[in-house]
Structure 1
Amino acid sequence: MESQNEFRAKVASLKDFDEAFVLVKNAVYAKFRMHRAGLSLILQVMPTNLGAYHVLGSNVIVMNSHVLATIRRLSGSEQEYNAYVFMVLAHEYLHSLGIVDENTVRQMTYDLCKTLLGEDHSSTRMAKEDPSTLFPQLRNMMQTQFSKEFQVVKNFDKAGQSYIQ
């Protein structure tokens, strides 16, 4: 596996959700020897206590666009925002692999981040506790509803797509 500094640099320089997801899939495979392809990402406003979820038995990960936008606004850098995206996608990807127990997935996400990025990295700190560890303002957000509107992220998990569209 790569050194923590190399992996930190990759997370810091992520450009989009697909690039983040490729890194997540490679990291999960390297650490746990688990893999699947063909996932879709949806962005939707949801209650602020939910960062994301995987629809059990589906190929869908849904991320909270309200929390995502707030973290983008609050983060001191693109690296912090990328750290959040990496951690959340890793967590939900593990769920998509059939691991339904939340505590198991939390521990696996923490182990993955700690191994690849180090104990002091933002991804690891958020995986160990939760994103409000770095962004305490999230605790004061009062979004309680799911929006009926959503956005399907285009060009997500491109490597897992067939050439026939």
Structure 2
Amino acid sequence: MNLSELKKEMPEIFESVKKDVRKILGRHRAGLSLGLVEMGMFRGGFIGGMHFHPGTEIVMNKSPLKIILDSQPYEIVWAYTYHILLHEYIHSLGIIDEWQCRAITLNISEEIFKEADHPAIILAKNGIG
């Protein structure tokens, strides 16, 4: 999979995120758009994505995404994309506190994917950096 192919698949992954959040939390938000931007990487980590509260855009950082696309199988790429979009979507619902957002991201991932070794659960438990 390359970045161009992932761009086409991101809206479908985001629909899964929204459906899963509605199922688990009973909440949703319409009118959001997705984007990819270069935010770079720095020693010790990177930012996977951002939502600027109370805005209507969720962006993913292309820099780590390109590395993941080049080095990981499809299921990891999908899980990473799902994880970042889920985390930022939860922020868009008004959950601004980072630790609370991470806990909710993990809870939803565990409820949806069930198996502890699912890549989305591993990312939610261990972080992305």
TM-score > 0.5 by shorter chain: yes
- What corresponds to 1:117 in structure 2? 113
- Of the three residues 103, 108, 112, the one matched with 1:107 is 103
Tell me how far apart the structure 1 counterparts of residues 34 and 63 of structure 2 sit (CA, whole Å): 15
1:73 aligns with: 70
| Structure 1 equivalent of residue 48 of structure 2 | 51
Q: Distance in 1 between matches of 2:95 and 2:64?
A: 24
From 6, 11, 21, the counterpart of 2:14: 21
How many pairs does the alignment contain?
A: 117
Cα distance in 1 for partners of 2:9, 2:36 equals: 13
1:94 paired with 2:90, answer yes
Give SS of 1:41's match.
strand
Pairwise CA RMSD: 1.1
In the alignment, structure 1 segments of 5+ residues that lack a partner are 1-14, 133-165
Provide the rounded CA distance (Å) in 2 between the counterparts of 1:57 and 1:95. 9
1:79 is displaced (CA, Å) by: 1.0
Structure with higher RCO (Cα < 8 A, 6+ apart): 1
The gaps in structure 2 that reach 5 residues or longer are 1-7
TM-score (norm 2): 0.86
Structure 1 segments of 4 or more deviating over 6 A? none
Write the distance in 2 (CA, Å) between the matches of 1:114 and 1:88.
15
* Percent of residue pairs identical: 36
Q: CA deviation at 1:131?
A: 2.3
